Amino acid sequence: MSPIFNVGLVLAIVGHASAFIDKNVYQCLIDQNLTAMAQLIRDANLISTLTNGGPFTIMAPTNHAVANIDSDIMVALTRNPVLLKQVVRYHILDKYEVIPSLISAGQVDTSEGQPIKVTSGPAGILLNNASMMLGGSSSDIVCNNGIIHVINTVLIPPVFSTDNLAAVLVERDDKFKDFFLYVLLSNMTHLIESGEYTIFAPTDLAFGRYSHLSDIHRDTPNRASIYMEVLKYHMVPGARTSHHLKNGQSLFTLHGSPIHISTSSNGLMVDDAMVVEADIPAANGVIHAVDHVLFPADLLAQLVQG
C-alpha cells in the first residue's frame, strides 16, 4: 500500500475515529492491550498478512472474552490450526469499515468467507445478535493499514464444527453411508482427516440412481484407483461455504479437472448435480450434499473405450 494512498484513507476516516495509531493493525492490538487476540493471530500464522497487507477491519475480542471461550472449543482450536485460522479470519474484514458504514451495511463478509450480521439498537451495536461492540458508535481505532473494533465475545462462524470431514461423514449416516464406503475402499480416510477440503458428497439416494460407477466391473484393472479418482473429482482444496460459490465459477478438483458451479432460481448446481444440503460444517472443511454422483469426463471416456 503506497504512503500517499494510506494517508488519504486515514484522513478520510479519522473524523469518525476515537483514536489513530501510526502502526499496523497487529501492532495496534498489542498497544491497545488486546494481547489475547494478538496471540490467536500469531498462533494462526497471520501476522505477516496483517502486517504487510491491508486494508483490514478487525473485530477484536477483549482478553477477558478470549479467556472465556468454551473450553471444548478452545481445546479444538489449540489442536487444529485449520480450525483456529477459520475462527481468527472470521474476525477480519478485507476492507476499511468504520462503525457507521457497518451499521448501514447490516451485513459484511469476512476474510473467512461467512458474513457477520450488524444491528444497532437500544442495547448497543451487536454482531450476530450476540457480541456487543464496546465503546459506542465512535470507537473506531484507526491504524495505518486498518481499523480495530473492540467486542465483548469471541465470534464463532455459523458453519463450524470441531469434527473432521471423515467423522462428519460417519455421523451423517442418514445421507452418506455409500460415499463413506467408497472413501474406505479407496483408502482415503487419512486424506480427509488432515487436509482442508470442500466435498460435494453424493447422498445415498444419489448412489441409488444410475451411476457410471456401476459400469466398473469387479475384474476391471485398477478398480480402486478409478474409485479414488472419482472421489477426488468431488473434492476441492480449501473450505468453501455456499457464500464462496458463485455462478459461473470453475473449481479445480483433486482429480485435476474442474467442476462448474451455477446458480438459478432452483438452487445451487455442481456440474449437473443439485446441492440438496449446503454448508455441513467440519473442522477441516465443509460438505455440500449433492443429488447425483459426479463423474470426470476424461475418466468416463477411458471407461467407455475400455
Cell of 133: 461492540
- pLDDT tens digit at each of 306 positions of the chain: 444 444 444 444 544 445 678 899 999 999 999 999 999 999 999 999 999 988 999 999 999 999 999 998 899 899 888 889 999 999 999 999 999 999 999 999 999 888 999 998 888 899 998 888 887 655 789 999 999 999 999 999 988 888 999 999 999 999 999 999 989 988 899 999 988 999 999 999 998 876 666 556 566 666 678 888 989 999 999 999 998 899 999 999 999 999 999 998 889 999 999 999 999 999 899 999 999 999 888 877 776 665
| Cα–Cα nearest to 144, from 107, 96, 187, 179 | 96
Which domains occur in the chain, in start order?
3-151 (2.30.180.10), 165-305 (2.30.180.10)
- pTM metric for this prediction: 0.76
Task: Please tell me the distance from the alpha carbon of residue 13 to that of residue 9, in angstroms, as a whole number.
Answer: 6
Q: What angle do CA 95, 16, 37 make, to 5 degrees?
A: 50
